[in-house]
A and B are shown apart, each in its own frame.
Chain A
Amino acid sequence: MASGMQEKQYTPSLLSFFIYNPKFGPREGEEEKKILFYHPSEVEKNEKIRNVGLCEAIVQFTRTFCPTKPAKSLHTQKNRQFFHEPEENFWMVMVVRNPMIEKPSKDGKPATIEYQEEEILDSVYGAVLRQCYSMYKLFNGTFSRAFEAGGVELLRQKLEKFFYRYLQTLHLQSCDLLDVFGGISFFPLDKMTYLKIQSFVNRVEESLSLVKYTAFLYNDQLIWSGLEQDDMRILYKYLTTSLFPRHTEPELAGRDSPLRPEVAGNLLHYGRFLTGPANLKDPEAKFRFPRIFVNTEDSYEELHLIVYKAMSAAVCFMINASVELTREFCEQLDALVGPQLTLLASDICEQYNINRRISGPEKEPQFKFIYFNHMNLAEKSTIHMRKTASVSLTSVHPDLMKILGDINCDFARVDEDEEIIVKAMTDYWVVGKKSDQRELYVILNQKNANLIEVNEEVKRLCATQDMTTLKTVSCSCFNDSISVMQ
């Protein structure tokens, strides 16, 4: 009897994640000592040892072919393993189960499972694994420093504490090209407003001499940063996927919302702390700022991360962790920054609305594209309607996103300007252009067009409004240099 069941599609999922250092248990019988972290922890000890041993063996084996480049991934029918050696001899391995289709049992035959190996792009999940390390390092510093400070025990504790929670936030089914870029979305601003912000930052830094670095964001997009690119990039990811989503705007909350009372007492400004003291009015309340580690390659600085928000504007102040931040200091900061930031936030909002009125209402974006600039990490996507850690709503079919991933892999091979145009089975056109450290991917739904017409369309895209907003705006502020995107 034929079964009425449908095919069931399983998305990629995390099978296991472990961190090891072979130097910690080099002798036979000591294998368990190598393992610094293993998820899922319920796995039997011998199996853990076996899995780690297999990875070690593969890394050793592949070294014979290419001593300088370590193994990156292992493909098998059912899963894919990714390897990353972020620090010498410390290895991180992520095992992802391949997406599969379960076909229901039919005519007495058992249900079959078809594994879709090609669905997973190495570049995407390799980037996700590297980001796991970057995020750990942002909040915990390097593995070697932890080991130096408190031996294997301290390192194990830190890893357990961080990854136990962090792995739960990994949503592997929604990873795509944007994870490869790990870029930053910049907020489009005119020169005047940008200068206002810059002078605000200067003023605050002068008044609060403890502040070492500042970053300024509006609407989940970056405007200014005093941090190094790589540090800002991971901090940005943390802010936009973890911190900001946790704190919705109280002034937008309804009258009866529990969030309301926070603002009631303070009519001078809308500023508040997102990290640190939740309520300045309560003298008994304890607070703590998260610590972050930046410049780990050279100066290795541990800093307090103060995130202060007023309406849609958020400022990060980073202060040396050796300083004790008192309630008085927070009140000082609140009094200084609150009003100014509130004003600035409404200024930006007004300016933004004016610009929008000039440039025309933003209807459904005409072109579906993704842009990324390797030099300033600026990224823009009109394909992703909302991208947080848990969800990636894209307005295009996932197969098309994978084609973008394929094109990106092809681009990564050579360091030259290239162009790739693909016509998919569904008659959608995908155009990838790489020029001068910038990549642009456009998806066109023009079934009857030919190559030449598609080319013309993309040229139009590059010349239209969409690209000019990218032009005027994004000032990349890393290390005080302003470079305007073309």
Chain B
Amino acid sequence: TASREQLRVRYGHIIVFLQKGPLVLVSASKSHQSELQLRSELLHVYHQIVSMLTQASINRIFQCRKNYDLRRLLFGSERVLDALLDVMETEAGFLLSAVQCLPLAPSTRDTISQILQKAITPNLVLSILLYNGQLVSIVQEKMVIEDARLKSTDLHLLLNLIRASSAFQTGEIWTPICLPCFNPDCYFYTYVAYLDPPDCTICLVLLSTDKDAFYAVAECKRKIEEGVRTHNALQCISKVQLCQVCHVGVAELRHFLFKPLDVPDHHSQLPQFTSPEVEAPYSTEEKRIYLMDLYWHLHSRIHSTLRPIKLLYHATQRETLLALVTGKFEMYACFSPLVTKSTAIGAVTKLLRWIKKEEDCLFIRSPPKYSTTPPEARGFSNSRVQTNKTLFGTI
């Protein structure tokens, strides 16, 4: 008999089934994505639902009432799931399981990080500043990092939740959000505010484990706002020049994705990638989806579970694609179809050189940390489970 988790049907369209606990998710797709990739998309959808409800409560509900209609709890959140499906089609972060940082001079970034680092309150675990969805700075609580790593999926789902609801753009929001990969059974209490209304491009997100800490966390925001104003940081951020593919210096190069892999583990940073703005001929929504579909396909061949490969070069009438993975990085590049093989190979060298030159701006190498755990609670390595209960309230 077949294992139900991995049932798929194929015929030009692919239909993929995924069962997680009491939920069955189905996807029908015409894209070039592989079954594994579609399954991971379904997993993201599942995780997004968990981010709103937590896994523990989903399981509990269905245990009590097998016929429960979960839509009752998900009412109003359809646009979050819709937005997720859209964003998975156009953004490389999901494909690469990595986040993209705003290219920022290290000094500016450090200044901002220090501002975040100082604006703390007990039970605050994560402070994030974003500009148009790209990471400006992220500061994490020390103990939290030791216990469990923040995954890029959690960050993507968090950002999607915030972006999908226009309600988040009005004033300050305090809401429970679950980080499913970190801990699927409990909520963090999330403070969200835009520092530049009404443009709403610079977003501050503060996560706490204490559901009654709204005022304390709002005070942190005030301190951050002050610090940011003092240093004129908002201007620096909005004036930033995003990466453009012409910076690399290869005429036929149209777009690329680059993810460094040689990050020492003790840096405990989020996996990151960099990629330039999407320009012609992929500037329309449709073309962006088309380009991402090409990347999805390259990725599935390169990372095939049974026959992974090191390099893939695919020349078609419309573009030439090159995918390369080494111990140090993985990259995906899209060239005009007229590019020669020597230019394409030469482009890799030029790209590596350019990345090396700019890497301090492109990546956050060592995310700063703060400590908000009271000193008494620090000796808890023996009784982790106990402490988890004190640190993280369950609903």
Could you tell me which A residues sit within 8 Å of B by CB distance?
Answer: 58, 61-62, 65-66, 69-79, 116-119, 122, 399, 402-403, 406, 410, 413-414, 416-425, 427, 450-452, 455
Contacts and interface: CB of A to CB of B under 8 A. Distances in A.
Interface of B: 1-3, 5-13, 15, 28, 32, 35, 297, 301, 304-317, 341-342, 344-345
Contacts of B307: 118, 399, 402-403, 406, 424-425
Contact of A451 (B2, B306, B311): B311
Given A65-B28, A450-B345, A423 B310 contact: yes
**Interface residues of A: mostly helix, strand, loop or mixed?**
mixed
B309 A75 contact: no
Contacts of A119: 306
B227 to A, nearest CB: 50
A73 B11 contact: yes
A451 B345 contact: yes
24 contacts: A62-B15, A65-B13, A65-B15, A70-B11, A71-B9, A73-B11, A75-B8, A75-B9, A75-B10, A77-B3, A78-B3, A119-B306, A399-B306, A410-B297, A410-B314, A413-B32, A414-B316, A420-B312, A421-B314, A425-B308, A450-B345, A451-B341, A451-B344, A451-B345
B316 A416 contact: yes
Contact of A455 (B5, B12, B312, B341): B341
A465 to B, nearest CB: 25
Contacts of A417: 317
A451 B341 CA distance: 7
A383 B314 CA distance: 23
A423 B309 contact: yes
Contacts of B309: 403, 422-425
B97 to A, nearest CB: 20
Given A72-B12, A78-B3, A425-B310, 7 more contacts: A66-B13, A75-B6, A399-B306, A423-B312, A424-B309, A424-B310, A452-B342
Contacts of B28: 65
Contacts, number: 115
A329 B7 CA distance: 59
A452 B308 CA distance: 22
Q: Most chain-A CB neighbours within 10 Å: which of B5, B9, B297?
A: B9
Contacts of A421: 311-314
Given A65-B28, A452-B342, A77 B11 contact: no
Contacts of B13: 62, 65-66, 69
Nearest to B11: A72
A79 B28 CA distance: 21
Contacts of B306: 116, 118-119, 399, 402
A100 to B, nearest CB: 12
Contacts of B297: 410
Contact of B10 (A122, A413, A452): A122
A452 B341 contact: yes
Contacts of A75: 6-10, 35
Q: Which of A65, A79, A399, A413 has the most CB of B within 10 A?
A: A65
Contacts of B341: 451-452, 455
A425 B344 CA distance: 21
A159 B301 CA distance: 40
A392 B15 CA distance: 33
Contacts of A58: 9
Contacts of B1: 78
A106 B168 CA distance: 54
A432 B158 CA distance: 43
Contacts of B11: 62, 66, 69-73
A72 B10 contact: yes
B311 A416 contact: no
Contact of A62 (B2, B6, B9): B9
A413 B294 CA distance: 13
A406 B345 CA distance: 23
Nearest to A450: B345
Nearest to A402: B307
Contacts of A61: 9, 15
A452 B346 CA distance: 11
A76 B308 contact: no
A118 B37 CA distance: 13
A419 B314 contact: yes
B316 A418 contact: yes
B314 A420 contact: yes
A406 B12 contact: no
- Return the 10 tightest CB-CB contacts between A and B, nearest first: A76-B2, A423-B311, A77-B3, A421-B313, A72-B11, A419-B315, A118-B306, A75-B8, A423-B310, A416-B317
A77 B2 contact: yes
Given A116-B306, A118-B305, A425-B308, A73 B6 contact: no
